[in-house]
Amino acid sequence: MPELKFDITRVRQDFPTLNQSINACPLVYLDSGATTQKPQCVIDTTAKFYTDENANVHRGRHTLSENATIQYENVRAQTATYFGVNSSEIVWTKGATEAINLVANGLRKQVTANDTIIITPIEHHANLVPWQVLAQQTGAKLAAMPLNKDGTFDTELCLKFIKKQKPAIVAISHASNALGNITDLPTIIECAKSLGAIVVVDGAQSAMHLKPNLKILDCDFYVFSAHKMIGPTGVGGLYGRYELLNALTPYQTGGEMIQTVTLYESVYRDAPAKFESGTPNIAGITAFGAALSYLSQFRHAEIFEHEQAVFNYAHSRLAKIDGIYLYSSVKNNIGTLCFNYKDEHPFDVATLLDGYGVAVRAGHHCTQPLMAHLGINGSVRASFAFYNNYSDVDKFIDALQACIAILD
Angle between helices 282-296 and 63-83 in degrees, nearest 10: 40
Which residue is catalytic, options 158, 338, 366, 403? Answer: 366
Do 247 and 318 reside in the same domain of the chain? no
Instruction: Specify the pLDDT at position 258.
Output: 86
Do 287 and 318 reside in the same domain of the chain? no
Instruction: Specify the pLDDT at position 134.
Output: 98
Distance CA 358, CA 326 (A): 19
- Host domain of residue 18: 8-30+299-407
Do 287 and 305 reside in the same domain of the chain? no
Instruction: Specify the pLDDT at position 256.
Output: 81
CATH number of the domain encompassing residue 202: 3.40.640.10
Do 248 and 304 reside in the same domain of the chain? no
Per the annotation, the verdict on 366 as an active-site residue is: yes
Instruction: Specify the pLDDT at position 3.
Output: 65
Do 13 and 63 reside in the same domain of the chain? no
Of 266, 296, 326, the position where a domain reaches its end is 296
Answer yes or no: is 38 within a domain: no
Do 227 and 251 reside in the same domain of the chain? yes
CATH number of the domain encompassing residue 350: 3.90.1150.10
Do 14 and 51 reside in the same domain of the chain? no
Answer yes or no: is 307 within a domain: yes
The residue ranges of the chain whose pLDDT is under 50 are: none
Instruction: Specify the pLDDT at position 392.
Output: 98
Instruction: Specify the pLDDT at position 6.
Output: 77
Answer yes or no: is 400 within a domain: yes
Of 296, 316, 343, the position where a domain reaches its end is 296
Of 271, 296, 321, the position where a domain reaches its end is 296
Answer yes or no: is 282 within a domain: yes
Do 201 and 337 reside in the same domain of the chain? no
Do 341 and 259 reside in the same domain of the chain? no
Instruction: Specify the pLDDT at position 60.
Output: 78
Do 209 and 265 reside in the same domain of the chain? yes
Do 99 and 223 reside in the same domain of the chain? yes
The tally of domains found in the chain comes to 2
Do 214 and 106 reside in the same domain of the chain? yes
Nearest of 237, 238, 275, 241 to residue 256 by alpha carbon: 275
